[in-house]
Amino acid sequence: MFGMFDIYLLEALLSGLLLGGVFALLALGLNLVFGVIDVVWICYAELIMLGMYGMYFLYVTYHLPFLLAALICIGGVGVLGVALHLLVIQPLLGTAPINQLLATGGVLFFLQSAATVLFGIDFRNLGIRLPVLDFAGMYISYARLLAFAAALAGMVALYLFLARSYTGAAIRAIAQDRQIMPLMGVDTRRIYLITSLIGGALAGLASCLLVLQYDVQPFVGLTFGPITFLICVLGGLGNMLGGFLAAFLFAEIISVSGLYLDQEWGYVFGFAVFVVLMFIRPQGLLARRS
């Protein structure tokens, strides 16, 4: 009896860990953009939705190999990120921050309905059925394992880029002090564009991984959009390490409470924990007390 219970719990914990990898990747792009440009892309999940459609069409309609399709997708969503910055964020940089948030909210509606108009509301999937691994009596979804690995790889790549390259150093510097960097000879506009490109590309990477687990439809962004924002807030907006921890915390809560109750209750419980944690650590998990 207890043996059975333990293995289910362990399985839930493990799949929570894998889910956490994907959440962490989702939060990473948003956090990067927020930390550097000080803008919240409310439409972040909708960029991912477009990327998922891109994957669907490249893979199913044009029969490209999965990896090539994924590369095109990552690049394509990266370019979308740049377009978003140039068309919507740049004209609003000097105004109240809430305006930028609302404008990207308008983009959210735009992208959702553009997808509805263009692709209809059918649920589509790639038709790839990845096997389920049987590991010591536990069932682990291969798609999640792959997503976890790719998410980790993406994060390590971003870390190396930020830590080692000159541009990465400039990006980190801008995130620390927005006013002083132009005086140091850093071209803010260029850094913002690069950041938007990377933020979009991370969304593209996420879309390649999520398309293996979710059916694509215009409103798919709503299934993981809100949770991404909560993770970022819980980790402290712009704080990448905090977001990383918060992602795993959230994923475990959802996964483990989904074991005992319905999936929705997992989310409800996750949100409730979020509200309680905000009482205790309002500026994010890792914030230093000022």
Partner 1 sequence: MTRAVPWIAGAAALLLLPFVYREAYPLHIIVLILIWSFAYTSWSIMGCFGLTSLGHGGFMGIGAYVTALLWNYLHVSPWLGIWVAMLAAAAAAVLVGYPCFRMRITGHYFALLTLALSAIVLQVVTATRDITGGSLGYTPERYHGGSSLYAVQFIDKETWYLIALGVWAGGLAIRYAVGRSMLRYALEAIAEDEDAASAAGVHVTREKLKITLLSAMMTAFAGALYCQYQMFISPDTVSGVSVSLQMVFAAVVGGLYVPLGPTVGAAITILMAETLRISFGTGAVGWDNLVYGTLLVLFIIFLPQGLLGSVQERLSARR
Residue ranges in contact with partner 1 by CB under 8 A: 34, 40, 42, 88, 91-92, 95-99, 101-103, 105-117, 121, 218, 222, 225-227, 229-230, 232-233, 237, 262, 264-265, 267-268, 271-272, 274-275, 278-279, 282-283
E strands of the chain, at which residues?
132-135, 138-141
Q: Which is nearer to partner 1, 104 or 141 (CB)?
A: 104
Q: Which is nearer to partner 1, 66 or 271 (CB)?
A: 271
Say if CB 221 and CB 109 are below 8 A apart: no
What is the closest distance, in whole angstroms, from the C-beta atom of residue 109 to partner 1 in the complex? 3
Which residue carries 């509606």 as its tokens? 109
Q: Which is nearer to partner 1, 75 or 105 (CB)?
A: 105
Tokens of 207: 């879309």
Tokens of 226: 């809100």
What is the closest distance, in whole angstroms, from the C-beta atom of residue 217 to partner 1 in the complex? 12
Helices (H), the chain: 2-37, 44-56, 66-84, 97-119, 142-164, 166-176, 180-183, 188-210, 221-235, 240-260, 263-280
Q: Which is nearer to partner 1, 10 or 261 (CB)?
A: 261
What is the closest distance, in whole angstroms, from the C-beta atom of residue 100 to partner 1 in the complex? 8
Show contacts of 119-124: CB within 8 Å, 24+ apart.
Answer: 119/53, 119/218, 121/217, 121/218, 121/219, 122/217, 123/215, 123/216, 123/217, 124/53, 124/56, 124/60, 124/215, 124/216, 124/217
What is the closest distance, in whole angstroms, from the C-beta atom of residue 40 to partner 1 in the complex? 5
| Among 258, 250, 253, residue whose Cα is nearest residue 227 | 250
Q: How many CA atoms lie less than 13 Å away from 152 in the CB half-sphere? A: 11
Say if CB 125 and CB 60 are below 8 A apart: no
Q: Which is nearer to partner 1, 28 or 74 (CB)?
A: 28
What is the closest distance, in whole angstroms, from the C-beta atom of residue 269 to partner 1 in the complex? 10
What is the closest distance, in whole angstroms, from the C-beta atom of residue 261 to partner 1 in the complex? 8
Q: Which is nearer to partner 1, 151 or 237 (CB)?
A: 237
Say if CB 47 and CB 80 are below 8 A apart: yes
Tokens of 202: 């991370």
What is the closest distance, in whole angstroms, from the C-beta atom of residue 208 to partner 1 in the complex? 25
What is the closest distance, in whole angstroms, from the C-beta atom of residue 80 to partner 1 in the complex? 15
Q: Which is nearer to partner 1, 57 or 271 (CB)?
A: 271
Q: Which is nearer to partner 1, 154 or 258 (CB)?
A: 258
Q: Is the dihedral of CA 216, 107, 264, 267 positive or negative?
A: positive
* DSSP bridge partners of 124: 216
